[in-house]
A and B are shown apart, each in its own frame.
Chain A
Amino acid sequence: MTAQSKITKTYDIEFKGVTKRFGDVVAVDNVSLSVERGSFFSFLGPSGCGKTSSLRLIAGFDQPTEGDVFIGGHSVVGTPSHKRPVNMVFQQYALFPHMDVRDNIAYGLRQRSPKPSNQEILKRVDETLEMVRLSGYGKRRVWELSGGQQQRVALARALINRPTCLLLDEPLAALDRKLRSEMQMELQTLQRDVGITFILVTHDQEEALSMSDRICIMREGKIVQSGSPRDLYDNPRNRYVADFVGKTNFFNGKICDVNATGATIQIDSGLSLLGAPAKGAAPLIIGGKASIAVRPEMISITAADHTKFHPGVSLPGKVINRIFLGERSEYLIETQGHGEVLVLSPKNITGSTQSFVPGDQVSISWQAESALVLADT
């Protein structure tokens, strides 16, 4: 039943104007999206923004209040979860405690009609165990496994059904940092190998950035922006996205001039700063509140007495903290009157092999075109 259905479109999952209400709470608010076949798609957003609710609408545990959900080009509104060709990896794994690892993984195959032969099931279970690198664990009880192993069993239990689409609800949240990054790599490799569409829910932006082909950033049930990780990072449409994806320095102020190449913002400390407008954002209005956003790696740092000419913005400041990150260093600079600024400086950039210690007087600078003007929303 879950096997390959005739899919003519290139989209596996589509939402058209989907809204989900729980009483007065609008968990998903008029969301339209499409997930390309075989891609790695992520829902990213803070707690309570409707990520799990969206996933549950795909899995079929909930039905939309309004709108239409498509799987493989067919509307599935009203189709119960056991008849949908998608499988889910639950946040707490939800492995059946009364079954061993093998029976957990075989569960999906055993529900099929006609039921595959026992031999066939065992063969597939062993293959899947191998795929998640748990060969020989078939007879173990699920509660005897470590968190990472349980996570793999949950993954195997879903993947063995060869779903059209695999849904993952914060599958790595319960793992420690090291295991999490290992599993991120594995998940990515696995996704490429099996070629199944993965939809991941996460509130961890690094996780979303490193794994996904496409990210959909949500806020209060709505999609704020979706795009490739690179696109979201380079062209955040508003402050919320810039803040959520990667680290950013913000200088708050008011728009005082708009022209073809950018806008001038008078920031709260009185200084006027230039920035490029964000792509795809609403037009900027003179007098409106906005901020200048500069990524830490776009800022360079030099000694205060350095008399080099800066074509862009240059601010004096004092180093208050330095975090050594191996190949780069992260500096926290206290500027005079413009707040604290985060600067990411590579170890070996020609011309600034110099490193600084807290207390040093420095000067930070960036090019006007690497700063973005983002209207407040």
Chain B
Amino acid sequence: MKQQSKSNRWLTAALLTPTGLWFAFMLVLPLIVILVFSFGERAAVGGYAGGFTLEHYANLGARLKAFSNTLTYAPIGTFLSLLVAYPLAYYLAIKVNRRYKLMLLVLVIVPFWTSLLIRTYAWIYLLGGKGIPSILDWIGIEDVRLINTPGAVLMGIVYGYLPLMVFPIYVSLDKLNKSYLEASSDLGASPYKTFMQVTLPLSMPGVATGCMLVFILLMGEFLIPAFLGGGKVFFIGNALVDLFLQSRNWPFGSAISITLVVIMLITVSLYMRMTLRNSKTGVDESLM
């Protein structure tokens, strides 16, 4: 018995080694580099020069707008994605005939066969003067500005992140045993009550997963605000692009990155604790 658990441990270690090495080199190492950069000096020609200063952290206030934008748009965008994704996932998982399910699921991801860059360009055109506003103009609604507005950014976010939200919710609704719904109805609950008391709580693991995925990725987003926000709405991601590629202030960019990582660690772990506590479905399901 003991013998076996020992060899088992070796096997586990062996199986985990590649992943461990991957994490060490691809994740931890760059993070350490960024951490070191963030305490360094900006070289005269841009980039990084050695040294130790807290100046960049003290200077974070200069980019406060980027932080506050990110921290407002990310939760709002996540929430809007959820609002759009849930009915879609519900329809796909519960209402659609099994025969068409796969086809419709594929349709949800078809847009992802082209890059987000191209698709966002398409939105620039659609929301710009020659797109939807010109049609609105034609039917008599004049002077509508769509592009370069917060609304355009949020729309782009919902559009771009929808599948990431749809899939986890779809999975949790799809594996939801239909006899729970019948039991609820049998016990006298109207369809609405059944949804609120059974379907929704039991799909929370999927909702939690989807929200986390979208939220984390939104915190690093830069393409959508740059293209659809026209410089008016900019995220931390945009600040980083600027600092690393344009003004080449690597240490300051690094300090912002590290701050972002810390913010994310805090919010995500708070969120995880909250959802774990709220989900009463047991560890197995809440960790899906």
Q: A-side interface residues toward B, CB under 8 Å?
A: 1-2, 59-61, 80-83, 86-88, 90, 92, 94-100, 107-108, 111-112, 141, 143, 157-158, 161
Contacts and interface: CB of A to CB of B under 8 A. Distances in A.
B179 interface: yes
Contact of A143 (B182, B183, B198, B282): B282
Contacts of A143: 282
17 contacts: A1-B188, A60-B186, A81-B182, A82-B185, A82-B189, A86-B186, A88-B182, A92-B177, A94-B177, A97-B202, A98-B280, A107-B184, A107-B189, A111-B187, A111-B193, A141-B280, A158-B186
A88 B181 CA distance: 13
A100 B285 CA distance: 16
Given A90-B179, A107-B184, A97 B282 contact: yes
Q: Which of A80, A92, A96, A158 has most chain B Cβ within 10 Å? A: A96
Contact of A94 (B180, B188, B282): B180
Contacts, number: 74
Given A88-B183, A90-B179, A141-B282, A98 B201 contact: yes
Interface of B: 177, 179-180, 182-191, 193-194, 197-198, 201-202, 279-282, 285
A87 B179 contact: no
B279 A98 contact: yes
Contacts of B280: 98-100, 141
Q: Which of B188, B189, B190 has most chain A Cβ within 10 Å? A: B188
A94 B182 contact: yes
Contacts of B197: 107
B186 A96 contact: no
A1 B193 CA distance: 16
B179 A161 contact: no
A100 B189 CA distance: 18
B180 A87 contact: no
* Interface residues of chain B: helix, strand, loop or mixed (majority): helix
A266 B42 CA distance: 110
Given A92-B177, A100-B280, 10 more contacts: A59-B182, A61-B182, A61-B186, A81-B185, A88-B183, A94-B177, A97-B282, A97-B285, A98-B201, A108-B187
Nearest to A154: B183
Contact of B202 (A98, A158, A161): A98
Q: Which of A2, A86, A99, A111 has most chain B Cβ within 10 Å? A: A111
A152 to B, nearest CB: 16
A86 B285 CA distance: 32
Given A94-B180, A96-B198, A111-B193, A82 B282 contact: no
A97 B185 contact: no
Given A97-B281, A98-B201, A141-B282, A111 B180 contact: no
Contacts of A86: 186
A91 B279 CA distance: 26
B198 A94 contact: no
Given A98-B279, A98-B281, A143-B282, A81 B201 contact: no
Contacts of B198: 96
B183 A90 contact: yes
A239 B247 CA distance: 93
Q: Which of A2, A82, A108 has most chain B Cβ within 10 Å? A: A82
Given A111-B193, A141-B282, A143-B282, A96 B188 contact: no
B188 A108 contact: yes
Contacts of A141: 280, 282
Contacts of B193: 111
B190 A82 contact: yes
A60 B198 CA distance: 19
Contacts of A107: 184, 187, 189, 197
Nearest to A83: B188
A82 B184 CA distance: 8
A94 B185 contact: no
A98 B184 CA distance: 13
Contacts of B191: 82
Contacts of B194: 82
Contacts of A94: 177, 179-180, 182-183
Nearest to A84: B186
Nearest to A112: B188
A190 B174 CA distance: 37
Give 8 nearest A-B pairs by CB, closest first: A111-B188, A108-B187, A94-B179, A94-B183, A81-B185, A82-B185, A111-B189, A98-B280
Contacts of B190: 82, 111
A99 B189 CA distance: 16
A97 B188 CA distance: 18
